[in-house]
Amino acid sequence: MIYNYEKVLEFLKVLIQQAEEKQKYYNETNYGIVRISSIDFEVMMGILFGEKKGKNRQDLENHEVKSLEENGQAVWDFHIKNGLNKLIKLMTVSHIFVIYSNEYNMSFFLISGEELTPKFEEWRSKVTANLGINRSHGYISSDWIKEYGTLIMKIENEEIVYSYK
């Protein structure tokens, strides 16, 4: 597989430029720091893997993308009506985790659905239980992702400092 590392960095620089332009308006209205959106991370990973948007609510053709802050958690939302189907589907695709910090430093980790299946199986009873609520959630910490994931790319200070060969 050929990864488009340089094109990802080029896209990130466009996002940073846009964020810098928007920041003054955020400051004026007391909205804090401009953040990269989850859709931007999906586009970034589509560029990296050469994939288009997936069908049936899947992020990309062969991957799901989750973004989370350093020392944070990736969160999945399971609705009562389709939660089990979603959980089963998550076991069949690979997952890209984008762990980011301030200053647009980020690391990209890859974990297969097969490798995540034991974690997803832990959530099955919660997803299928009718607790009188409309949804349930599953969580994976950034520490767990770093321990079990394969680092495929790391960007610091707008430079690629690691790329998987």
What's the confidence (pLDDT) of residue 13? 94
What's the confidence (pLDDT) of residue 146? 97
What's the confidence (pLDDT) of residue 132? 60
99/74 Cα distance (integer angstroms): 9
The contacts of residue 26 (CB under 8 Å, 6+ apart) are 32, 33, 34
What's the confidence (pLDDT) of residue 33? 85
One-letter amino acid of 16 = I
What's the confidence (pLDDT) of residue 116? 95
- Please name the residue that has the structure tokens 């979603």: 86
What's the confidence (pLDDT) of residue 130? 61
Say what the pTM is. Answer: 0.90
Other C-beta atoms lying within 10 Å of the C-beta of residue 119: 16
User: Can you name the residues that pair with 163 across neighbouring β-strands?
Assistant: 153
What's the confidence (pLDDT) of residue 17? 93
Domains of the chain: 5-163 (3.40.210.10)
What's the confidence (pLDDT) of residue 83? 85
Q: List the chain residues with pLDDT less than 50.
A: none
